[in-house]
């Protein structure tokens, strides 16, 4: 995997909006937080455009993304928010090779489309981490500063992630490169030229929000039938916030049934992405060790940046 360089104090970070329009107040608060962390946020006026459900046309969003990535003064890109639209950029980026000038990209939710493309198809590491809206914009109430600051600065090797609420579904221990993101986006990519295709012996990170248990079960069935679960050595699920329902099988029932047929450890409740509390940062594309025992944790074995 190609690793971007680590971030340093004073680095310029481009604010990009590959998906839905955003609140200006949230943008301003997120920019202020990045400055508080010692970085220089850079805002392209193109992100204020709006078209249908997104921040401008696909062509405008793709051009803004490429412009930020190609700027040698920019060290990293962070998304304002998710929503909808990132997948529309992929055909417009297909003939471009961002790995020739690697940068760190940070996002989650709808931006899973870009995270999957960058990690699985371009062979670069990335961060499933806080965006500006509702995360960086809210300071320590919105995101976990320790995991974010440690991973972007190149101090990730050996870093243990053991948040409260992380629980064992199936005990065991396994290691492999971490891939994944929001399940809806991962499943939606299957059958396209940009299909989610993590390598064999990977650790899969899977999370979602406001999807009923039967819909999660259906999407996990699709990942299994596509051969993706069989290639994985371990699974880790997010909080799955809003994925419960009154009556009938629960989200826990869905995960327990999955674990019975899965040959490896399974954890649940990792607070990254759509979490009710501060969102932790996870490194995609690097080796981690998943420990599902008396003290469940994920140990980062390689830094995502250098």
Domain identity same for 139 and 36 = yes
Beta carbons of 258 and 219 less than 8 angstroms apart:
no
Q: Confirm whether 7 is domain-assigned.
A: no
Same domain for 112 and 180:
no
In terms of domains, do 173 and 263 share one?
yes
At which residue do the structure tokens 């990009």 appear? 16
Q: Which of 152, 181, 198 is the last residue of a domain?
A: 152
Residue 68: the pLDDT is 98
pLDDT at 246: 76
> Does 88 share its domain with 200?
no
Q: Has residue 49 been placed in a domain?
A: yes
Positions annotated as catalytic residues are: 109, 207, 274
Please report whether residue 3 resides in a domain: no
Q: Do 146 and 255 belong together in one domain?
A: no
> Which residues, 6+ apart, have CB-to-CB distance to 118 below 8 Å?
98, 105, 124, 126
Smallest CA-to-CA distance from 280 within 112, 113, 106 is with 106
DSSP string, 104-159: EEEE-GGGHHHHHIIIIIS-B-EEE---TTTTGGGGGGTB-HHHHHHHHTT--TT-
- The answer on 178 and 87 residing in a single domain is no
| DSSP structure class, residue 51 | B
Is residue 190 domain-resident?
yes
Same domain, 239 and 137: no
One domain for residues 123 and 254: no
Which of 276, 281, 170 has the alpha carbon at shortest distance from 233?
Answer: 170
**Is 2 among the domain residues?**
no
The dihedral formed by the CA atoms of 239, 243, 244 and 245, expressed in degrees to the nearest 10: 170
Query: Do 113 and 179 reside in the same domain of the chain?
Result: no
Q: How many independent structural domains does the chain possess?
A: 2
Model pLDDT, residue 191: 97
Of 99, 120, 152, at which residue does a domain stop?
152
Give the domain CATH number at 56. 3.40.50.10740
- How far, in Å, are 13, 27, 152, 231, 279 from residue 33 at the CA level? 12, 10, 15, 39, 15
Domain membership flag for residue 5? no
In a domain, 73, yes or no: yes
Burial 176-191, CB ≥16 within 10 A → b, else e: bbbbbbbbbbbbbbbe
pLDDT of residue 244: 85
Residue 59 lies in a domain: yes
Please name which of 64, 46, 54 lies closest in space to residue 21, comparing C-alpha atoms.
54
From 152, 176, 204, give the residue that closes a domain: 152
Please indicate, yes or no, whether residues 171 and 138 belong to a single structural domain of this protein: no
The DSSP element (H or E) to which 227 belongs, if any, is: none
Say yes or no: 119 and 147 in one domain: yes
CATH number at residue 281: 3.50.30.60
Q: What pLDDT score does 5 carry?
A: 97
Question: From first to last of its 306 residues, what are the pLDDT tens digits of the chain?
Answer: 999 999 999 999 999 999 999 999 999 999 999 999 999 999 999 999 999 999 999 999 999 999 999 999 999 999 999 999 999 999 999 999 999 999 999 999 999 999 999 999 999 999 999 999 999 999 999 999 999 999 999 999 999 999 999 999 999 999 999 999 999 999 999 999 999 999 999 999 999 999 999 999 999 999 999 999 999 999 999 999 999 877 889 999 999 999 999 999 999 999 999 999 999 999 999 999 999 999 999 999 999 999
Query: Are 145 and 171 within one domain?
Result: no
Find the domain containing 46 and state its range: 12-152
Query: 184, 219 in Cβ contact below 8 A?
Result: yes
Per-residue CA distances from 241 to 197, 209, 268 (Å): 25, 5, 12
Whole-angstrom distance, CA of residue 154 vs CA of residue 144:
16
Predicted pLDDT of residue 247: 84
DSSP letter assigned to residue 297: E
| Euclidean distance between CA atoms 12 and 189, whole angstroms | 31
In angstroms, rounded to a whole number, what is the distance separating the alpha carbons of residues 226 and 233?
A: 16
Residues 6+ apart with CB under 8 A from 304: 3, 4, 104, 125, 126, 127, 151, 156, 283, 284, 285, 286
């Amino acid at each position: 995997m190609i690793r971007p360089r680590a971030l340093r104090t004073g680095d310029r970070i481009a604010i990009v909006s590959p998906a839905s329009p955003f609140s200006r107040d949230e943008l301003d608060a997120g920019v202020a937080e990045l400055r508080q962390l010692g970085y220089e946020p850079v805002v392209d006026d193109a992100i204020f455009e709006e078209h249908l459900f997104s921040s401008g046309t696909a062509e405008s969003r793709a051009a803004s993304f490429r412009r930020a990535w190609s700027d040698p003064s920019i060290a990293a890109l962070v998304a304002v928010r998710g929503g909808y639209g990132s997948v529309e950029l992929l055909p417009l980026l297909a003939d471009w090779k961002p790995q020739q000038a690697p940068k760190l990209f940070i996002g989650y939710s709808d931006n899973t489309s870009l995270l999957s493309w960058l990690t699985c198809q371009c062979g670069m590491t990335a961060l499933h981490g806080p965006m500006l809206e509702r995360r960086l914009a809210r300071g320590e109430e919105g995101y976990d500063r320790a995991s974010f600051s440690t991973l972007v600065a190149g101090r990730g090797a050996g870093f243990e992630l053991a948040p409260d609420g992380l629980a064992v579904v199936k005990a065991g221990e396994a290691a492999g490169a971490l891939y994944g993101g929001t399940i809806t986006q991962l499943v939606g990519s299957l059958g396209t030229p940009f299909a989610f295709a993590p390598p064999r012996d990977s650790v899969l990170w899977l999370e979602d929000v406001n999807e009923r248990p039967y819909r999660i079960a259906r999407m996990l069935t699709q990942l299994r039938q596509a051969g993706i679960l069989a290639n994985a050595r371990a699974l880790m699920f997010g909080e799955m916030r809003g994925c419960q329902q009154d009556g009938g099988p629960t989200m826990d029932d869905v995960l327990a049934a999955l674990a019975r047929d899965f040959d490896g450890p399974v954890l649940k409740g990792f607070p990254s992405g759509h979490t009710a509390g501060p969102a932790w940062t996870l490194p995609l594309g690097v080796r981690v060790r998943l420990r599902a025992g008396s003290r469940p944790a994920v140990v980062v074995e390689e830094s995502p940046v250098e």
